[in-house]
Amino acid sequence: MKENSLLRIAKYAALEAAKIHKKYFKSIELQVVSKEKSYDRLTTSDIEAEKEIVRCIKKEYPLHNIMGEEEDYESNDSEYLWVIDPLDGTNNFSAGFPVFSVSIAVYKQNKAVIGVVYDVLREEMFSAQLNGGAFLNDIPISVSQVELMADALLITGFYYERGEMMKKTLDQMRQFFEKEVIGIRRTGSAALDLCYIAAGRATGYWELQLSPWDFAAGRLIVEEAGGSITNTKNCDLGLKKEGVLATNGRIHNLMLSVINQNT
């Protein structure tokens, strides 16, 4: 399918943000502060990258609405909403761990129509357009064909919470290991986790709470790659903070049964 202007601008904005991240990664110029918790971090790169993404969007689409992680933006009655995470994997980035991404989605009338996730250091551009398929560096991708938990590689994540939610996730990990899965990974970038499901690099991903900018772009990429993505109660995802389950579709119900076993 022909790449439309929304997708072109989303990719361009992601690449411009990536330039900022490359400038600051492992640099003495990087400034890091904590938000409410010491492990909920904000960096110079987050702030500057979001400003650059917004600049790119507003230059082409001055009336479109924006939902960002770092700032609140005035809204109007436009049917378009850009959902942006300028740096997904901030804790990784601030520690010098080379796994982080830029995530940009476009919603039209509350439905995702564009998704872009850019892995800055690997220079991998994951993208999707509604009804147009999913791609990695413009090459089509699709989810894995795995049907058994014993053949599944899973990914999980932990939100900024170290209480009951963390304990539930750890217990779910134990239960999945008892299903003899190949393994469970935790990368620190939910947007990339979703893209790895889309690309068939892993079979299932779950996290008990995510913000909408964490999954807005990856959601469409998973769907267009032939996968399934819902909240952890098997309902449609909205643009709100909630749990997320993404799979190749074949093990979706199996993962749901574990996740909701004791809830």
Q: Return the domain boundaries, the chain.
A: 5-140, 149-259
Global confidence as pTM: 0.94
Dist CA 129 CA 25 (whole Å): 30
The predicted pLDDT at position 132 comes to 96
- Which stretches of the chain score pLDDT less than 70? 1-3, 36, 38-40, 262-263
Q: What is the pLDDT of residues 222-242, one digit of tens each?
A: 999 999 999 999 999 999 999
The predicted pLDDT at position 38 comes to 65
The predicted pLDDT at position 56 comes to 97
Dist CA 260 CA 135 (whole Å): 32
Q: Which residues lie below 8 Å from residue 222, measured CB to CB, with a gap of 6+?
A: 134, 143, 194, 195, 197, 198, 228, 229, 246
Closest CA to 247 of 227, 221, 233: 227
The predicted pLDDT at position 39 comes to 67
Closest CA to 213 of 62, 54, 95: 54
Q: How many residues does the chain have?
A: 263
Dist CA 36 CA 12 (whole Å): 32
Dist CA 81 CA 35 (whole Å): 26
* Class of the domain covering 149-259: alpha beta
Looking at the domain 5-140, which fold is it?
A: Fructose-1,6-Bisphosphatase; Chain A, domain 1 (3.30.540)
The predicted pLDDT at position 1 comes to 43
The predicted pLDDT at position 263 comes to 55
Q: What is the pLDDT of residues 21-35, one digit of tens each?
A: 999 999 878 888 877
